[in-house]
C-alpha cells in the first residue's frame, strides 16, 4: 500500500507547488484527496466570506485640504536637521555644565573659607579689650612712652579706680 502524503506535501498541493509525485498520488489516493479538498474547501469558504462582506463597500474619499506647512515642520522632515539639532543640544549642554561648574564654589575651598572665618572670630574675641582697659591699650599701642603725669592734687577719675 502506498504511503499517504506528508503534511508538507499537502501544504505544497494547497499552495499549488506540489511536485509530480504528489500530484500523481493525489489522483490515486482518495484519502489524501479528501483531506486536501476538505481544507481547500474551507479556505475557499473563508475567501468567499471576506469577498462577500467587502462587496458593497465603497470608500467615501475626500482628499484632505492642502495646507501650507510651517517652516519648522518642513525643515524638520530633513534628516540633517535632526543631526544639527542634536549637535546644538550637545554643545549647549557642555557649555551650561562648564558654566555651572565655574559658578559653584569648590567644596574644599568652601571649608577652608569657613575655618578662616572661625579663626578670625576667635582672634577677634581673644583680642577683645574691655572698655575700662582701653586707655591702657591705647598707651601700649602708642609705644613705650610713659603717660603724662597728672598735676599734683588732682584726683583720678572713679572709673579708672574700679
Partner 1 sequence: MTSMLQVVEGAIGDDDRRAASAALLEDFDSVVLQHQQRIHRVLLGMLRDSDAAQTLTQECFLRAYESRGRYRGEASVSTWLIRIAINLAHDYHRNRRLGFWRRLFAGDNDVGEMAARLPSDAATPEQDLLAKEKLAAVWSAVERLAPQQRAVFVLRFVEQLSLEEIAAATNLKLGTVKAHLFRALGTVRKRMKEWQVSP
Separation of alpha carbons 92 and 101, rounded Å: 14
For residue 7, the minimal CB distance to partner 1 (Å) is 7
Which listed range, 33-41, 79-87, 99-107, 114-122, lies at the site for partner 1 (CB under 8 A)? 33-41
Q: Which residue among 21, 23, 34, 48 contacts partner 1 (CB under 8 A)?
A: 48
Q: Which residue among 3, 7, 124, 144 contacts partner 1 (CB under 8 A)?
A: 7
Looking at residue 153, the DSSP 8-state letter turns out to be: T
Burial of 9 (0-12, 13-18, 19+ CB in 10 A): buried
114 binds partner 1 (CB under 8 A): no
Query: CA dihedral defined by 25, 31, 37, 38, rounded to 10 degrees?
Result: -160
Residues that bind partner 1 (CB under 8 A): 7-8, 10-11, 14-15, 38-39, 41-43, 45-55, 57-59, 61, 63-64
Amino acid at each position: 500500500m502506498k504511503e499517504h502524503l506528508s503534511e508538507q506535501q499537502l501544504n505544497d498541493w494547497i499552495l499549488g507547488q506540489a511536485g509530480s509525485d504528489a500530484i500523481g498520488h493525489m489522483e490515486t489516493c482518495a484519502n489524501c484527496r479528501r483531506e486536501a479538498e476538505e481544507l481547500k474547501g474551507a479556505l475557499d469558504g473563508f475567501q468567499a466570506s471576506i469577498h462577500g462582506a467587502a462587496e458593497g463597500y465603497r470608500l467615501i474619499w475626500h482628499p484632505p485640504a492642502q495646507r501650507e506647512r510651517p517652516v519648522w515642520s518642513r525643515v524638520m522632515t530633513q534628516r540633517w536637521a535632526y543631526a544639527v539639532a542634536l549637535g546644538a543640544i550637545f554643545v549647549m549642554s557642555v557649555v551650561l555644565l562648564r558654566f555651572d561648574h565655574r559658578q559653584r564654589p569648590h567644596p574644599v575651598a568652601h571649608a577652608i573659607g569657613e575655618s578662616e572665618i572661625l579663626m578670625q572670630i576667635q582672634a577677634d574675641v581673644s583680642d577683645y579689650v574691655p572698655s575700662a582697659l582701653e586707655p591702657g591699650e591705647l598707651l601700649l599701642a602708642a609705644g613705650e612712652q610713659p603717660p603724662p603725669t597728672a598735676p599734683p592734687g588732682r584726683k583720678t577719675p572713679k572709673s579708672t579706680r574700679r
